Amino acid sequence: MSLLEVKNLKKTFGNNEVLKDISFTVDKGEVLGIIGPSGSGKSTLLRCATNLEHQDSGTIKYNGTFGLVFQNFNLFPHYSVLKNIIDAPLVVQKRDKKEVLDKARELLKKMGLADKENAYPYQLSGGQQQRVSIARALAMNPDILFFDEPTSALDPELTGEILKVIRDLAADHMTMVIVTHEMNFARDVSDKVIFMENGVIDSYGTPDEVFARENNRVQEFIGRFGN
Long-range CB pairs of 85-90 (<8 Å, 24+ gap) are 85/132, 85/135, 85/136, 85/139, 86/139, 88/136, 88/139, 88/140, 89/139, 89/140
Helix axes 97-110, 81-91, angle to 10 degrees: 140
Check residue 227 and give its pLDDT.
Answer: 46
Check residue 221 and give its pLDDT.
Answer: 83
Check residue 46 and give its pLDDT.
Answer: 94
Check residue 157 and give its pLDDT.
Answer: 76
What CATH number was assigned to the domain covering residues 2-225? 3.40.50.300
Q: Round to whole Å and give the CA distance between 217 and 227.
A: 16
Domains of the chain, residue spans: 2-225
DSSP 56: S
Distances (CA, A) of 83 to 68, 69, 182: 18, 17, 31
Please, how many CA atoms are within 13 Å of residue 119, restricted to the half-sphere of its CB? 13
Partners of residue 197 on adjacent β-strands = 200
- Which residues have C-beta within 8 Å of that of residue 79, sequence separation ≥ 6? 87, 120, 121
Q: Round to whole Å and give the CA distance between 182 and 124.
A: 24
Distance between first and last Cα of the chain: 33
Check residue 215 and give its pLDDT.
Answer: 73
Partners of residue 152 on adjacent β-strands = none
DSSP 115: G
- How confident is the chain (227 residues) per 10-residue block, as mean pLDDT? 94 94 96 93 94 95 93 91 97 96 96 96 94 96 94 81 92 95 90 94 92 78 64
Nearest to 176 by CA among 224, 136, 134, 215: 134
Residue 224: CB atoms within 10 Å: 8
Q: Round to whole Å and give the CA distance between 93 and 89.
A: 5
